[in-house]
Chains A and B, each alone.
Chain A
Amino acid sequence: MEWETVIGLEIHAQLMTKSKIFSGSSIAYGAEPNTQANVVDLALPGVLPVLNVEAVRMAAKFGLGINAPVSQNSVFARKNYFYPDLPQGYQISQMDLPIVEMGHIDIPLEDGSTKRIGVTRAHLEQDAGKSLHEDFAGMTGIDLNRAGTPLLEIVSEPDMSSAKEAVAYMKKIHALVQYLEICDGNMQEGSFRCDANVSVRPKGQKELGTRAELKNINSFRFVERAINIEIARQIDIIEEGGSVVQETRLFDPDKDETRSMRSKEEANDYRYFPDPDLLPVRISDEFIEAIRATLPELPEAKKQRFIDEFSLSDYDAEIMTSSRPLSDYYEIVASGSGEAKLAANWVMGNLSAALNKDDKNIADSPISAEMLVGMIKRISDSTISGKIAKDVFEAMWKGEGDADSVIEKKGLKQITDSGAIETMIDEIIANNQAQVEEFRSGKEKILGFFVGQVMKASRGKANPGQVNQLLRKKLKA
């Protein structure tokens, strides 16, 4: 039987406010346990929440970024459950009336086309604290510094039909929240987290299969792996005559499996109701327009501009705008060097290979955009060849200085003095008479041998075009 996969994602993006969503505590990462938990975060008796305007502004920004209506009337609700890292005994979230309603985002597919993915909703909520399971004499330690950190939960439609599409969607949202400067996207620190709802059904069947919710898949690589493993598991079950159970499953990257989290399911009845400590959030047109006015250029617009301004292909422009830091980097290199295509080749080629190899982000690349501009300028003014440029790049990567100082220090400047090149050629002709005869008898291919000898003698610094031209002249003489 042929199977079809249906995937929807729930992404939690931590908003980059200074203080918590309902209290004046800092949300800075990495503080000593419970030093950033005030009376409100600790849910002492009698305390009350007051909403942070910046969280609302950031949520509205996201709404504008996915072409969704920003609700003029949204309501906070309580989701009730007991857990030690949830001090109130309920999470303040949004249920019936979320702040951002249906929007969409386009993802690139492997065949070069795009697919539109619906974003059902995005709502504001508070994060929980952290449970530390290392042994405290058989006890669990609770740190509430993270409790009350503002989250935007972004819920997609079940529009994705493969793990690859899910990753493409997640990357798109990841890029968007960073473009909007509402989330730092740091997945190691948990600022951007993903749960996936996965189900399978026989191809052509209309109704959805039973879904499993995969938790704890916090890297692009894990999302793809976890979903594929889960798809295979579900198909196996059905093909063996069983049926999939609706449940929450945890992805274990070490064992490369998903496993049931029955403990989380037990007696779940969240008893949502509007939080009586908070009033309806009313957002005016002016508030939204003020946000719209400060909206940065978004990926789609920037991609089109790169195509128009820098004559990039659709494919190259898609890659260059896939993240805000990359697009900023590229734009500096392309504009600064005046060589958009060359800039694209270097950024997508050597630079991205080097970043990958050393597991670095573009933001902490040892070669700044300005340094790369300097190097490309030396290629275009023929100071160095493309081949030598690779050595220059290598040196810059190792921190040996900018292009000009590397070229200077290592003497990599191209030799363009025809007198010097002629002297080298004369010597090589004198030492390789047999090959000269071959050339003269019509075996033109042997020219390559002579070019190679000259380049070797000049340690790559002779201008290849010039060498070619002078060799022909001398050999034919």
Chain B
Amino acid sequence: MHNKSLTELATDLTSGAYSSVELTQYFLDRINQYDTNLNAFITVMDEQALAMAKTADEQIAAGSAGALTGIPMAHKDIFCTDGVRTSAGSKMLDNFIAPYNATVVEKLNVAGMPILGKTNMDEFAMGSSNENSFYGKVKNPWDLERVPGGSSGGSAATVAARLAPVATGTDTGGSIRQPASLTGITGIKPTYGRVSRFGMIAYASSLDQGGVFGTSASDCALVLQAMSGFDEKDSTSSEQAVGDFSASLKDSLQGLKIGLPKEYFEEGLDSGVAKVIEDAIAEYKKLGAEIIEISLPNTHLAIPAYYVVAPAECSSNLSRLDGVRYGYRCENPKDLQDHYMRSRGEAFGDEVKRRIMVGTYALSAGYYDAYYLKAQKIRRLISEDFQQAFETVDVIMGPVAPNTAFKIGEKSDDPISMYLSDIYTIAVNLAGLPGMSVPAGQANNLPVGLQLIGNYFEEAKMLNIAHQYQQVTDHHQQMPTAFEIANINPSKGGE
């Protein structure tokens, strides 16, 4: 049951093999059974999930069900959910019951997907290991001593352990692709502007983009379809038509031109990871693709530019968290200044404070040109590298991360080495391109993801490229054995 595709689940729901309430209960039971080990959820929404499942069952009975009706899912705790705590992994919002729905939540509610709960994450999406959460570290289902990646580590661990069929995530510098890679699942971050940011708690506005985790490209296609589209509440969302992400999944890859950036295979890349990527490329050759070496010469500038742009934007975005209208307020402030200083000082974690300070400094009088403006210029250079590459190739491939999942605590005292784990993903956000991680095998007994980078609004093409690979490989079907046993017989489940 937990290894079925969304299409299979939908077929079963329609045929009456089990109800949405039963299916939802099945996953709630799995969460109950396994999440104490993983800590992937901040809030489990038992009651709401079952109520939504009941409504879905009514729709199914009435014949008005869509492709996703009744299939449960999980949301990263960065998407505001009306009436439910939405914490962004921070003490600051531990008491924040969102009074409205994010557009993504609204859309998936309309699609009829019961929400199992809100998943753990690095505080305000700042981190690559999920060690920066007020709610504790998330563990990698493949090895509980290792990180699942971040910042959407809770969602990735959830799907990897099959505690939910799919989950949403957000990606500002790799926060969908890197955890997908480290947990062996499929994750897609669409083009900037494809998915509305309204109600998605902002980290860095010009880089943040919502996306989805699933066990296959075809599952991701279905959910991304339901999440995407222009939103009049988000000025930066795109009016470009969404198209049909599932329609072209079966297209042949004959003649596909794959670009391999030489900068993505230089020193720093783990040899085991490199081997997995090479094998995946070989598989694509068999599918009829042509391999072309390309260069993205400004790759090394992506992390420096990102660590100006993202902190600058976050330093301003997080200013609204002031303990006045909602959120944490310190006790007995002696005056207004003390109220601000302590409410923010006590509620934000170390990494969040660090990035706020980096951004505050980079924007301050006398430094703006040297840092912020400079970074925005570098950003154009990076973007132009990609555009030049797409003149000759259809898709760019490479590793998602230089290493497999690292040990908890291994990098937590060394911000810079943590930042460097996003070296292959960050440039994609600076350019606003769609990116994906596809399970490609294992190194050191840990999953390795293959990164796909497409041109603007070519999500359908990327999903097709990933799906064709998944037709001839079974890496995406691998799951950590410790989570394989289903204790509960779904037919006996229920309210």
**Is A43 a contact partner of B320 (Cβ separation < 8 A)?**
yes
Q: Is B235 an interface residue (CB 8 A)?
A: yes
Interface-central residue, A49, A78, A80, A273, by most chain B CB under 10 Å:
A273
Q: Is A287 an interface residue (CB 8 A)?
A: no
**Is A47 a contact partner of B99 (Cβ separation < 8 A)?**
no
Closest to A278 in B: B235
The stretch of A81-89, A188-196, A329-337 in contact with B is A81-89
Q: Beyond A39-B100, A89-B320, A273-B368, is A46–B200 a contact (Cβ under 8 Å)? A: yes
**Is B325 a contact partner of A273 (Cβ separation < 8 A)?**
no
Q: Beyond A273-B312, A273-B372, is A43–B325 a contact (Cβ under 8 Å)? A: yes
Q: B307-344, CB under 8 A of A: which get 1 and which 0? A: 00000110110111110111000000000100010000
Chain A residues, Cβ within 8 Å of B206: 276
CA distance A42 to B324 in the complex (A): 10
Q: Beyond A39-B99, A39-B100, is A45–B235 a contact (Cβ under 8 Å)? A: no
Q: A390-409, CB under 8 A of B: which get 1 and which 0? A: 00000000000000000000
Q: A84-100, CB under 8 A of B: which get 1 and which 0? A: 10011110000000000
The stretch of B155-163, B357-365, B393-401 in contact with A is B357-365
Q: Beyond A269-B364, A277-B205, is A50–B319 a contact (Cβ under 8 Å)? A: no
CA distance A191 to B482 in the complex (A): 67
Q: B142-156, CB under 8 A of A: which get 1 and which 0? A: 000000000000000
**Is B365 a contact partner of A82 (Cβ separation < 8 A)?**
no
Q: Is A295 an interface residue (CB 8 A)?
A: no
**Is B364 a contact partner of A82 (Cβ separation < 8 A)?**
no
CA distance A279 to B325 in the complex (A): 27
Interface-central residue, B96, B324, B364, by most chain A CB under 10 Å:
B324
CA distance A289 to B119 in the complex (A): 52
Chain A residues, Cβ within 8 Å of B372: 273
**Is B325 a contact partner of A87 (Cβ separation < 8 A)?**
yes
Chain B residues, Cβ within 8 Å of A206: none
**Is A273 a contact partner of B336 (Cβ separation < 8 A)?**
no
Closest to B237 in A: A48
**Is B336 a contact partner of A44 (Cβ separation < 8 A)?**
no
Chain A residues, Cβ within 8 Å of B235: 48-51, 277-279
Closest to A277 in B: B205
**Is B336 a contact partner of A84 (Cβ separation < 8 A)?**
yes
**Is B319 a contact partner of A88 (Cβ separation < 8 A)?**
yes
CA distance A44 to B96 in the complex (A): 10
**Is A88 a contact partner of B363 (Cβ separation < 8 A)?**
no
Q: How far is the CB of A264 from chain B (nearest CB, A)?
A: 13
Number of B residues, CB within 8 Å of A: 44
Chain B residues, Cβ within 8 Å of A362: none
Chain B residues, Cβ within 8 Å of A90: 316, 319
Q: How far is the CB of B299 from chain A (nearest CB, A)?
A: 23
Q: Is A142 an interface residue (CB 8 A)?
A: yes
Q: How far is the CB of B103 from chain A (nearest CB, A)?
A: 9
CA distance A87 to B98 in the complex (A): 17
Interface-central residue, A51, A82, A269, A272, by most chain B CB under 10 Å:
A82
Q: Is A271 an interface residue (CB 8 A)?
A: yes
- Chain A interface mostly: loop
Closest to B341 in A: A82
Interface-central residue, A49, A84, A89, by most chain B CB under 10 Å:
A89
Q: Is B217 an interface residue (CB 8 A)?
A: no
Chain B residues, Cβ within 8 Å of A45: 80, 86, 88, 93, 96, 98, 201-202, 320-321
Query: How extensive is the interface on chain A, given as a class?
Result: 20 to 34
CA distance A89 to B323 in the complex (A): 11
Q: Is B194 an interface residue (CB 8 A)?
A: no
**Is B100 a contact partner of A44 (Cβ separation < 8 A)?**
yes
CA distance A43 to B324 in the complex (A): 11
Chain A residues, Cβ within 8 Å of B320: 43-45, 87-89
Q: Is B55 an interface residue (CB 8 A)?
A: no
**Is A48 a contact partner of B233 (Cβ separation < 8 A)?**
yes
Q: Is B43 an interface residue (CB 8 A)?
A: no
B residues 163-218 with Cβ under 8 Å of A?
Answer: 197-202, 204-206
Cross-interface CB contact of B199 among A43, A46, A82, cutoff 8 Å: A46
CA distance A90 to B313 in the complex (A): 12
CA distance A38 to B463 in the complex (A): 38
Chain A residues, Cβ within 8 Å of B100: 39, 44
Chain B residues, Cβ within 8 Å of A50: 232-235
Interface-central residue, A47, A51, A90, by most chain B CB under 10 Å:
A47
**Is A46 a contact partner of B319 (Cβ separation < 8 A)?**
no
CA distance A50 to B325 in the complex (A): 22
Chain B residues, Cβ within 8 Å of A140: 336
Q: Is B236 an interface residue (CB 8 A)?
A: yes
Q: Is B45 an interface residue (CB 8 A)?
A: no
Q: A264-304, CB under 8 A of B: which get 1 and which 0? A: 00000101110011110000000000000000000000000
Q: How far is the CB of A78 from chain B (nearest CB, A)?
A: 5
Q: A38-79, CB under 8 A of B: which get 1 and which 0? A: 010011111111110000000000000000000000000010
Q: How far is the CB of A43 from chain B (nearest CB, A)?
A: 4
Q: Beyond A271-B363, A273-B312, is A47–B198 a contact (Cβ under 8 Å)? A: yes
Q: How far is the CB of B413 from chain A (nearest CB, A)?
A: 29
Closest to B232 in A: A50
Chain B residues, Cβ within 8 Å of A42: 325-326
Q: How far is the CB of B55 from chain A (nearest CB, A)?
A: 25
Closest to B234 in A: A48
CA distance A138 to B201 in the complex (A): 33
**Is A46 a contact partner of B232 (Cβ separation < 8 A)?**
no
CA distance A80 to B365 in the complex (A): 12
CA distance A254 to B363 in the complex (A): 40
Q: How far is the CB of B124 from chain A (nearest CB, A)?
A: 9
Q: How far is the CB of B82 from chain A (nearest CB, A)?
A: 11
CA distance A17 to B360 in the complex (A): 34
Chain B residues, Cβ within 8 Å of A46: 79-80, 98, 102, 197-202
**Is B313 a contact partner of A276 (Cβ separation < 8 A)?**
yes
Chain B residues, Cβ within 8 Å of A84: 322, 324, 336
**Is A80 a contact partner of B316 (Cβ separation < 8 A)?**
yes
Cross-interface CB contact of B316 among A78, A144, A278, cutoff 8 Å: A78
Closest to A39 in B: B100
CA distance A153 to B100 in the complex (A): 33
Q: B340-372, CB under 8 A of A: which get 1 and which 0? A: 100000000000000000001001110010001
CA distance A269 to B360 in the complex (A): 10
Chain A residues, Cβ within 8 Å of B363: 80, 271-273
Chain A residues, Cβ within 8 Å of B88: 45
CA distance A142 to B324 in the complex (A): 9
Chain A residues, Cβ within 8 Å of B200: 46
Chain A residues, Cβ within 8 Å of B324: 84, 87, 142
**Is B99 a contact partner of A82 (Cβ separation < 8 A)?**
no
Closest to B92 in A: A45
CA distance A213 to B112 in the complex (A): 58
Interface-central residue, A42, A48, A144, A279, by most chain B CB under 10 Å:
A48
CA distance A310 to B320 in the complex (A): 58
Chain A residues, Cβ within 8 Å of B336: 84, 140
CA distance A39 to B82 in the complex (A): 12
Q: A153-173, CB under 8 A of B: which get 1 and which 0? A: 000000000000000000000
CB<8 Å pairs between A and B, sample of 5 = A39-B99, A45-B201, A269-B364, A276-B206, A278-B235
User: A42-B325, A51-B235, A273-B312 given. 18 additional CB < 8 A pairs?
Assistant: A39-B100, A43-B320, A43-B325, A44-B320, A44-B326, A45-B93, A45-B96, A48-B235, A48-B236, A49-B235, A80-B316, A88-B319, A89-B319, A140-B336, A271-B364, A273-B372, A277-B235, A279-B236
The 8 closest A-B pairs by CB, nearest first: A89-B319, A276-B205, A271-B363, A276-B206, A43-B320, A45-B201, A46-B199, A46-B201
Interface of B with A (CB < 8 Å)? Answer: 79-80, 86, 88, 93, 96, 98-100, 102, 197-202, 204-206, 232-236, 312-313, 315-316, 318-322, 324-326, 336, 340, 360, 363-365, 368, 372
